[in-house]
Structure 1
Amino acid sequence: MTLNVDWFMYNVKFVSAILFVVLFVSVSRGQPELQKIIPLTPNAASIEKYTETPISYFTGTANVSIPIYNISSRSISLPLSLSYHSGGNKVEDLASWVGLGWSLVGVPSISRRINGLADDSPFGFFTRYHGRTAKKMYDSVIIGGQGSWDYIKDIHAGVTDTEADIFSFSLLGKSGKFFWDQETSRFYTTPHSNIKVEFIGGDFKITDDDGTVYFFGTKETSTIGGAPQGNITTWLVDKIRDGNATDSLIFSYSYDIQVVKTLNTKSKLLWGSDCSQTQSIMTTNNTGAYSVSTITFANGYVQFIKESSVRQDLNGGYALKNIKVLNNEDYLVKDVEFSYHYRGSGTAPEDKRLMLDYIVEKNGTNEDKKHLFSYESTIESPSRLSFAQDYWGYYNGAIANTELIPTANVVSPAGPIQVPGANRDVNPGYTQFAILKRIQYPTGGYSEIEYENNQIYSTDVPRKYIQVGSSLTADEQTPPSSFYSTTFQVNNPPDIFLNNNLGGANVSIQIGGMNCIGCSSLTLQGLDAGNSHINTTISYNLSYYLPNGNYRMTANFGTQPPEDFENFYYIISWFAVDPVAPPLNSYVGGLRIKKISSYDGLGGRVIKRFRYTTSPVSDTSSGDAFGKAYFLAFENYTCIKYLPVGGYTNQSSYRMVAGGGYSQVSHSGSFSGYKTVYEFVDSLGSLGANEYKFTYVKDVVANLSPFPPPASMEIVRGQLKEQNTYRNNNGILVPLRTTRYEYRDEFFDNNAAFSFRTKLTREPVYANGDMVEIPQYDHLGYENIAAWSQPARKTEITYDQNDPNKLLSSVTDYEYNDSHYYRNKMHTKGSDSKIKSVISYYPSDLSLSSSAETARLQLITQNRLSEVLKEEVVKEGNQIKELKTNYKQFGNIVMPEEVFQKIGNGPSESMIRFLNYDSYGNLSSQQKTHNIIFTYLWDYNSTLPIAEVQNANTNDVAYTSFEADGAGNWTDIVPVNVDATTSTVSGSKSYNLTPTGLKRNGLNTSTSYVVTYWSKNGAYSIVGTSGSVKQGKTVTLNGHSWTFYEHLVSGQSTITISGTGKIDELRLYPKGALMTTYTYRPLIGITSVCDANDIFSYYEYDGLNRLQLIRDFEGNVLKTFEYKYQEVQQ
């Protein structure tokens, strides 16, 4: 669950740009209504109060998200925001260009995890091997033969690829992954969806299921060390286009070369021959990095301006300094400034961390919306190249580490041994370095966040071992005896290190100090039925496997023991799980939220505390790992050592590898999840609690060479199963509500990209340049499977607070169409046991006729598959309502044409008609069937409605205030005659009329038209004027007088207004119609409204573009607005 934080900021509560996105009218509403086209008039910018900072309960992370700006074009909206990940900072984390832990969210992108070769490389997975898929070739490898070995050789020579890369994508409002399937030659997404992915000429094109098209063509590459050519790691979006190709966002980028040093994999040779092994080295990565510089949209553009100096924590690259929003007139609408500092005591880039101090909205000397950030500062930040890392990469303060391979327990030919290495344990005293602790909001409030380390109750973490044993020595008895005996017990769980998962122990037996030969009898005897077969005499040091059970060890020196025999020892030792460590409650990597305290600056507060336990009073963690995390891998390897005298020997070795042979399974950036979470809420007293329960499925991880990636179950875990809400009644939690969810999960085996991985285990043998012995390999096949999960049932229970035995309940079942997997049926059963169903139909579900069928097929072609065309409401088996929307192709665009409604068994009746659209998809006219027509004119690059006319057709209206690029159906406007220097009646421009005049063509000669305007130079001439010209009110604005005139014109197919002088607010409409007009400062708001009675209202804005004044048509101030913030209470 991702929840947004609104931080004491104010937002202008009016629409400054209208996005006409036609949505299907839901049957759950009343009568179908006309589309809301005209914006609301401005209200004062509201100052929103901060109340709380929710978290993602399953992972225990706070998703702090600060909105920067919402780009609203004609039909595309792209929100820009800052997001902070609170799961902790890893040692090797490199800050983004907005600071450590922060990211700028909004620009769509594709990144990938390369498996084997890059799929788009000349021999990558997009290309079959001699026309055959990896699955067919894998089957041939299993069979064997020379051809299969040639194929394996080509794999390791880098001339073919056997593994699909995993691509991660982010779009507007959704994200996921996709991969290429060789068998079907197409991409599949996970979660399974109707998103269409294409790879064209090295670029990606993604079409969302609403028809929005994304073009990814800007590519980031990365090279390691001195590699001649790097792989593409990221594709950035160049263009977003709507389904009708009427609107688009264009992205441009700046380029930097960034050089970053990282720690590389290391292996250790444990025993065996002197085969080569990888050493721990610093790897230099050269990345051709792009950062967004401009986003251009229909009514403006956004600039991203970098700092002037290069970053101190990175060789190459710059921090983001400003985000500026400008309209098409280059007027600065918004300027957000970022400020930083660096922490870290070293001088090298790896020693420093870029930290975001604050962001503030500025405009000249005006400043507002400042957010201040404070971080943990008592823990010294480690170098990014530090080995002081826990198993998951977080700082643990172990500065004595000289490598990343941890201390390991392995079973050698001589028995279990411990190989010294790095301390990779979690250390809670160090993991919170540089973590965000406090956010201060513009209006005086603030939030404080308290963290703790993740803990899980699981065996999927590294165990700790100790050495235990039993012994006999003469020192145990004084004076010495000739007979010694003791019993001991072996009780080890199945464990790869302790007993190769058999239970029991591999014991080490040591004897000595008897000063005689054959003078003693040392025995070892099993005492249980399961180990009674063990009854042996010990005469030398050895290793021995003992199953779990009870044993007796004895030493018998007879009746005449030798002199000095009391120095003897008989010791049996073995490794066991450390009983001091918590048996299963263990630390894992990263942080979770312990408490969030929110203060409004006025004395109010809300405090939330979180417990991630199996019950409210338990200390047992409800957390678990997402899969077995193998932090070390062990492999047998055979290399060939050629002898100086000729010939060769096989050199067998056993190697331990860190970093490359294991998988750390994560979920949304976290390494653990919690099945149950409790949230306790206080506000100057306990308010109550919430209990959350989540689905939990582990990934399948194979710790088998050659170590394929885990089979991900991320899609089907972390979903809310149950939420219980309680109120506090004198210290007792009383249930208020319960909501339960069940899910339908699908795994599409037929949409699986089969891959396999190989690893060389024995080198080939050459003699005189010829291979005389073929190499040996491990190989393992796996599949990338598209998954899907959606709610199948929702149960809601409300408890009567006066009678605990009474409750209200409802159950909602959801069904999905197996052809497209959209929800097509929803059945709700209330406490009255009656069932109400809503049935939905999508473009691929119906077959229509005439123009509606043509449009339906075009919707499918545009991939607009998620649009609902028809809904039915059925109650107790009887249809009570149906609502259907027919689409039509208007020129090159497909838009709704008509809405029909059917009640019960009655006929289907037309309710609303959408009569016409302009070429950008803006609605030009609509009507309730058999009612008056509403017509709209658009301007400002066809992004804003400038006129609404009631009771008129599109062909019968015209309007201009000479503000923008449009003419409002008038012709012959000469741009040089537009005047922006003197006073106006509406907007900021007027027009110098000439005798040539302005025309409206194509009118109906049988219709009488009203033409109105404001003039500084008297009435102008209009041919066909009936009667006298009506002169209206004269107003003086900024020292200039304007007079209103009205003409009634009849019998004309073209109306021309001509003369010499200033003119503004020129209208034309049929007699009996009503026209209301609007002017704007684009991206800021409405500047004037002139109603059907030609009465003006004017709106003015301050330096930060907030509403400041409202004036009447004579310039008198009606309202004044001031914005003040509460002082912070420390």
Structure 2
Amino acid sequence: MDSLSSNYHFMYKKILFFLCFSQLAWASFSQNLPPGAASYANEGNEPLEFRTGMPNTKGSSPNVSAFRRIEDAGVDMFNGISTLKLPLYRLSGEQMQFDVGLSYYGGGVRMNEIAGWTGLSWTLDGEYQISRIVNDLPDEWYNTASSSYMSGAYRDKGYLYTAKQQLDHNNWTSPGFLGLESFDIHLLSNVATMDKFIFDSEPDEFRFALPNGVSGSFYRDHRANPNDLNGWKVKSKSNLVLEITHELHVVEYNTNNLYEIELDKWSGGSTCKIPTLFTKFIIGTPDGYRYVFGGVETALEVSRGILKFPNPSDPKIKTEAQYTVNSWKLSKIIAPSGEEVNFAYSRDKIQFQRSKELINAVKQGTNQWSTPSLEVNASITYPVYLSVIETKKQKLIFKRSQAIEKWYLALVDSGCNMSTLGPSANNNNFSFLVLRDDQQHCQYAYNYLWDSQNNFEGNLPNYNQQLDSVILFDKLSNQYVDGFKLVQRANPNHRRTLDRIFKFNFTDSKIQDNYEFTYNNIEGLPNLEAWNRDYWGFEQDGNAEPVTGCGILYELRSTTGNFAIKGLLNTIKNPLGGITEIQYEANVYSKQIKVNTTNGSVNVANNVNGNAVGPGARVKKIIQKDYLGAPDTYKEYFYTSNYPVGTNSSGLLNFDNIAIDAITGNCGNSSSTLANYSTLNQNQFTKQFKGGIINYSEVTERNADGSYTVFNYTNAENPEYRDEFAAGYGSYNVLNSSNLNFRLSSKDLDRGKMKTIRQYSSNNRLVKKTENIYQDDPLRVSDYIKSISILTLGSISSYYCLGQAEPGLGNHRAWAYKNYTYKNPLIKSIQTDYFESGPDIVSETEYGYDPYGNIASTKSKDSDGNTIVKTTKYNSHPDYDMVTSNNTASGIRKLKYQYGIKNFPVETMFSSQKPPVSGVDQPPYYLSAQLNTVNINRPMPEKKYLLRAANGLIEGTPSNTNGFFSSKISTSGTFQMDSRYVLEEEIIDFTTGNALALPKPVSVTNRQGGNYTLTWDHSGFYASSKTANVTVAEIAYSGFDGTYSGNNAVFKNGWNFNEANVQTGISFTGQRSLQAVPVSSGTAANAFITTGNVIIGKPYKISFWARSVIGNLYLANGTSATVLSLKKTGKDGWQYYEAEFIPNGTVGLVYASSGIIPINAQIDELMLLPMNAQMESYSYNTGTGNITSVNTGNGNVLLYEYDGLGRLLTVRDDAGNILKNHSYKLQNN
């Protein structure tokens, strides 16, 4: 039922701290990403389109980039990155809950990083999405250009259409095949002889994170047919098996059925129409939950590139200018029961991203280097923002506004050839940047650019949004409850940061959870697009702008640590006045990856000069300062090997590259050389090395008392965990011996796992050690997706290779590599406790898994050497996969085939096995077991059985029928289980449910005597009473707090009354009461409320509270009526009535008054139950979920009062007397 990703958090030690808001617990459903995902270079600055050398300009919004960054970086000590989590809300549904909060990433601020809507380096937990990294063409690409040379087989096609045909064979790595594949580009000069156009050979990477903490990527399976909706493979460090399906919109050539997206409402023009795209993804998990991404156009984030004026006949117009969807927002979570959490989004104004690179510094033959061009790589995104998260009970509403922040400087002529900006005569005028027209005819971005020409003088406008507040709305009471205000920096000269957050409410003026944040030298962060950056986009030494002429062979800066901590979160002031301080330092490494293209190997080399500074920052110390003057507490981190005496960093630089890409054999001329330098080219290397930039094999966490813990991680020092050299290489018009470029098959799935944890006392004595062993089966590497990366190296000017229509497209290389998708879970953990006197204690635990990644068995040894085994059989076990013929068997089987559940534990068994005797294994003895069955009509547990065998039961066999028999569905379809099971607990029946609420348990029986009955109110969301030792047909209760018309009549819970008489605002408990309209005669026939939920002749008790009684209240019993007497007086004029009687028919209440002016009475807390039963009832504030009263019967009621922030203030008795007071001393209150 549980996976190791959620069950064994010690595997991933994280530098993680929580600032918890009062009465808001951090929940297990919060986003908790495992470490080791890929870490890339500048987001929004994707690598070259490898076929043509053109920039891939399909960008992403700052929100998506910020989200990717949390995904990319292993937020743990393996990468030295701290994270801060601020929980905001746990949104409640019926059975579902959804957590929303904020997360901070502390790994360093990149030069070109634009703040998302929650502020620089902050992300919103609760805003989940699938984000795509496009490799080559978009996978679903199907070119629809209206040109004669693009018909039938001669269309550009994405991996979805081409993978099986191109790659599902054994010679996909052969040089001959790859040489032909690398020639598969634009061959327009000889259309008649070409075999194909562009066939995509690299699957896109679709990254995801789910609210249950599971994250990873998925790829299109090269073995899948194009029409296979399930043809996806998942790469994740979670051991759970996920199911991916998609919906696709695609039109054939010259059809008009295009997918329409309204991009925004500000810039005019028609709706954008896209010919081909994935419109929806659904991720299913073994617990039966389905996560829907996209599905509606407002949940799709669209992007495209900005290019110069095109040649209308240029076929690349379709490839480069195509609108693509690179982010699918989470739109719905569906539980197996059918309950949903829904997400709504709204599209806002366009977002621009821009970067400057030097490209095409070319040396051809013996010629001098050509002057590089200053390439302005711009992209546009039509962002969508989360506006509402909605459950059955609550809404969370997100408010935003226009951001004010540092933005791109206007482009100026720096003496460079701005080749992609338009006519060279106007190369410093950004208004000449236009969008290529295409089949979609979308003019939105075009209009924005003209707006920029008129109003922004060569610069792009900034329409980025910021999140201002998050507001909770209660649907049951139809009221706003409270909210959080986010205060962000509004300074056009600074990056935008989150500076403060506090909670407000709609009842009083009090605020809570007032947190304030400060940052390291946020004012000193450079301008966007500054040149003094390293390969990964971090600030380094050097000029911010290139020298005149762009600088021949202009170099990216080498890494220093001078700027590593700039812009990072420094202090957090909490509501009590204490301060958390985070200290950082630059990353340092002593080893790095080295790729040898001669022998095709990946190695680890020690730095010649020892430790070297690496990109980005790592956390050094976290200090907690108490505002009352108590001593500081802290944790300090050391990233060295062999602490405390070692000085060498345990860091390994996960990167290698070539500065200049050079080949020989240009256009088939063996004496011709061609070399190309580009700053953008380096992204092809930063993209390959996944799993973090600097990875630390050993990290020590030291406490203030001098004790410390040493953590060791799997890393590339182990050859088994290193990336693999390309599986194959081929080329066309290139001498193989001259190639120094490379591609790798990443094995980052193996790295970043916890190897050992060693705990030491302050005097360096080893106290405890934990060792973890993973499933490193050599055969695991047979699980992969095939990919071929193709690179064309451009040549100078109008130089053509034979048979080519475009200059410099005759030098092609192709690498075959693998995207691994294997699983390598924890299979064994060894814990050793060390003592100063006495023997050490060693304990081992082994783990086994079922095909869906659920833990199926654990094995450990007791002090006598016996093996203790816990075995779990889930509903997906083969023993239950049979045609069924009874309700119990059908209920279990339906979990998988109707509800998608594969992890319900049907049977859990505990056994003990003695050590072998004379080398002979001893049989296991079953000591205890638990068996659970399921209701046939709903995915809910129904019965729980227990089996206990003090002396153990040997496993049953045909010859030993007295042994233990595990449960199964027989060949005849009936459910079979061991006859010694004893029924422990059973849900006898459920409510009928309605359109809003699911069925709820009503009567529960327990073998230990804990039988009870529940009633429900508030549309079935809250239990209103609990009564022991009765059935639901014997009682009636109402606090009159709900609505009772239509399907909600079932929540009258045995009483019959006119729901129109329920009054809001006057009540003894809760929010409502029942009005009793007076009659002139106190006869049973005049009862205003009645019930038949009684057993004739059995002693009963009726009780209630009443107010404004002018006359008499009567108990109607059958045809008779008896005056009721007052028992006690409570608060605000309410009076308590109680009577004991033996029913002889329908029971009810009558209110008779002889007053001249009839005055309605109010009735509340009406209980009817047998004398031998005990009832307790509850009232709620549905907005906060707080209980506002508990009625224990006999006139004893406790009343709970809260302030506007939901904090308990006062506890009173039924008379209004104060029993307990609470006060709060927080900032600003």
TM-score, with length taken from structure 2: 0.70
Question: In the alignment, what sits opposite 1:7?
Answer: 19
CA contact (8 A) 2:519 2:567 kept: yes
Determine which of 1086, 1091, 1102 is the counterpart of 2:1203: 1102
CA contact (8 A) 1:2 1:56 kept: yes
In 2 relative to 1, CA 772–1102 (structure 1 residues): closer, same or farther, beyond 3 Å?
Answer: closer
Question: In the alignment, what sits opposite 2:311?
Answer: none
Question: In the alignment, what sits opposite 2:612?
Answer: 586
Question: In the alignment, what sits opposite 2:289?
Answer: 212
In 2 relative to 1, CA 649–816 (structure 1 residues): closer, same or farther, beyond 3 Å?
Answer: closer
In the alignment, structure 1 residue 596 sits paired with structure 2 residue 631: no
Determine which of 1164, 1168, 1173 is the counterpart of 1:1064: 1164
Question: In the alignment, what sits opposite 2:33?
Answer: none
Determine the C-alpha separation between the residues in 1 that align with 2:1170 and 2:26.
30
Most deviating of 378-387 and 1085-1094: 378-387
How far is 1:342 from its partner?
4.5
How far is 1:842 from its partner?
1.3
How far is 1:639 from its partner?
7.6
Question: In the alignment, what sits opposite 2:1036?
Answer: 958
In 2 relative to 1, CA 942–74 (structure 1 residues): closer, same or farther, beyond 3 Å?
Answer: same
CA contact (8 A) 2:701 2:708 kept: yes
How far is 1:737 from its partner?
1.4
Determine the C-alpha separation between the residues in 1 that align with 2:590 and 2:550.
22
Determine the C-alpha separation between the residues in 2 that align with 1:12 and 1:1011.
39
In 2 relative to 1, CA 178–1003 (structure 1 residues): closer, same or farther, beyond 3 Å?
Answer: farther
Equivalent AA in structure 1 for residue 894 of structure 2: Q
Question: In the alignment, what sits opposite 1:549?
Answer: none
Question: In the alignment, what sits opposite 1:808?
Answer: 841
Question: In the alignment, what sits opposite 1:234?
Answer: 327
Question: In the alignment, what sits opposite 2:538?
Answer: 394
How far is 1:131 from its partner?
7.4
Question: In the alignment, what sits opposite 1:551?
Answer: none
Determine the C-alpha separation between the residues in 2 that align with 1:1067 and 1:14.
37
Question: In the alignment, what sits opposite 1:100?
Answer: 120
In 2 relative to 1, CA 744–1026 (structure 1 residues): closer, same or farther, beyond 3 Å?
Answer: farther
Determine which of 145, 152, 165 is the counterpart of 1:132: 165
CA contact (8 A) 2:140 2:161 kept: no
Question: In the alignment, what sits opposite 1:550?
Answer: none
Most deviating of 153-162 and 902-911: 153-162
CA contact (8 A) 1:1110 1:1118 kept: yes
In 2 relative to 1, CA 385–953 (structure 1 residues): closer, same or farther, beyond 3 Å?
Answer: same
In 2 relative to 1, CA 585–854 (structure 1 residues): closer, same or farther, beyond 3 Å?
Answer: same
Identity among equivalent positions (%) equals 19
Residue by residue over 1:160-184, the C-alpha shift from the partner in whole angstroms, topping out at 9 and shown as x without a partner, is 3222111111111221211110314
Equivalent AA in structure 2 for residue 188 of structure 1: K
Question: In the alignment, what sits opposite 1:48?
Answer: none
Listed as ranges, the matches of 1:475-874 within 5 Å are 583-602=609-628, 603-615=630-642, 616-626=644-654, 628-630=655-657, 632=659, 634-636=661-663, 653-660=674-681, 662-664=684-686, 670-682=692-704, 686-697=705-716, 699-700=722-723, 702=725, 710-728=744-762, 732-745=763-776, 748=780, 751-760=783-792, 777-801=812-836, 803=837, 806-817=839-850, 819-845=851-877, 847-848=879-880, 850-861=886-897, 862-874=899-911
In 2 relative to 1, CA 391–246 (structure 1 residues): closer, same or farther, beyond 3 Å?
Answer: closer
CA contact (8 A) 2:988 2:1002 kept: yes
Determine which of 441, 446, 464 is the counterpart of 1:317: 464
Determine which of 378, 390, 409 is the counterpart of 1:284: 378
Determine the C-alpha separation between the residues in 2 that align with 1:1122 and 1:100.
36
Larger Rg: 1
In 2 relative to 1, CA 233–277 (structure 1 residues): closer, same or farther, beyond 3 Å?
Answer: farther
Determine the C-alpha separation between the residues in 1 that align with 2:856 and 2:769.
26
CA contact (8 A) 2:106 2:569 kept: yes
Determine the C-alpha separation between the residues in 1 that align with 2:548 and 2:876.
55
CA contact (8 A) 2:406 2:492 kept: no
Most deviating of 705-714 and 848-857: 705-714
In the alignment, structure 1 residue 356 sits paired with structure 2 residue 498: yes
Determine the C-alpha separation between the residues in 1 that align with 2:26 and 2:1175.
21
Question: In the alignment, what sits opposite 2:354?
Answer: 261
Most deviating of 177-186 and 276-285: 276-285
Equivalent AA in structure 2 for residue 717 of structure 1: R
Determine which of 1063, 1066, 1081 is the counterpart of 1:979: 1063
In 2 relative to 1, CA 768–9 (structure 1 residues): closer, same or farther, beyond 3 Å?
Answer: closer
Equivalent AA in structure 1 for residue 1073 of structure 2: S
Determine which of 184, 203, 206 is the counterpart of 2:280: 203
Residue by residue over 1:202-258, the C-alpha shift from the partner in whole angstroms, topping out at 9 and shown as x without a partner, is 211111111111111111111111564321111111111211113434444453421
Determine the C-alpha separation between the residues in 2 that align with 1:453 and 1:1080.
52
Equivalent AA in structure 1 for residue 235 of structure 2: T
Question: In the alignment, what sits opposite 2:60?
Answer: none
How far is 1:711 from its partner?
2.6
How far is 1:759 from its partner?
3.0
In 2 relative to 1, CA 366–832 (structure 1 residues): closer, same or farther, beyond 3 Å?
Answer: same
SS at match of 2:383: strand
Residue by residue over 1:51-97, the C-alpha shift from the partner in whole angstroms, topping out at 9 and shown as x without a partner, is xxx98222211111111111122222221121111111111111111
CA contact (8 A) 1:1012 1:1068 kept: yes
Query: 1 or 2, which has the higher strand percentage?
Result: 1
SS at match of 1:111: strand
Determine the C-alpha separation between the residues in 2 that align with 1:1091 and 1:310.
56
Residue by residue over 1:582-614, the C-alpha shift from the partner in whole angstroms, topping out at 9 and shown as x without a partner, is 524222111111222212223132122221111
Equivalent AA in structure 1 for residue 904 of structure 2: E
How far is 1:724 from its partner?
1.4
CA contact (8 A) 1:1026 1:1049 kept: no
Structure 1: 5+ residue stretches without partners? 20-53, 346-351, 408-418, 462-493, 503-577, 642-647
Q: How many residues align?
A: 946
In the alignment, structure 1 residue 177 sits paired with structure 2 residue 177: no
Question: In the alignment, what sits opposite 1:940?
Answer: 1018
Listed as ranges, the matches of 1:903-914 within 5 Å are 903=949, 904-905=952-953, 907-914=980-987
Question: In the alignment, what sits opposite 2:974?
Answer: none
TM-score, with length taken from structure 1: 0.76
Residue by residue over 1:673-720, the C-alpha shift from the partner in whole angstroms, topping out at 9 and shown as x without a partner, is 1111122222xxx43121111111355265879978643323221111
In 2 relative to 1, CA 748–291 (structure 1 residues): closer, same or farther, beyond 3 Å?
Answer: farther
Equivalent AA in structure 2 for residue 674 of structure 1: Y
CA contact (8 A) 2:667 2:811 kept: no
Listed as ranges, the matches of 1:897-1046 within 5 Å are 897-903=943-949, 904-905=952-953, 907-918=980-991, 919=993, 920-929=998-1007, 931=1009, 933-965=1011-1043, 966=1048, 967-970=1051-1054, 973-982=1057-1066, 984-994=1067-1077, 997-1000=1088-1091, 1010-1016=1101-1107, 1017=1109, 1018-1020=1112-1114, 1022-1024=1116-1118, 1028=1122, 1030-1038=1124-1132, 1040-1046=1133-1139
SS at match of 2:1052: coil
Q: RMSD value over aligned CA atoms?
A: 4.1
Equivalent AA in structure 2 for residue 968 of structure 1: K
Equivalent AA in structure 2 for residue 223 of structure 1: R
CA contact (8 A) 1:275 1:639 kept: no
In 2 relative to 1, CA 1067–167 (structure 1 residues): closer, same or farther, beyond 3 Å?
Answer: same
SS at match of 1:128: helix
CA contact (8 A) 1:311 1:318 kept: no
In 2 relative to 1, CA 1099–222 (structure 1 residues): closer, same or farther, beyond 3 Å?
Answer: same
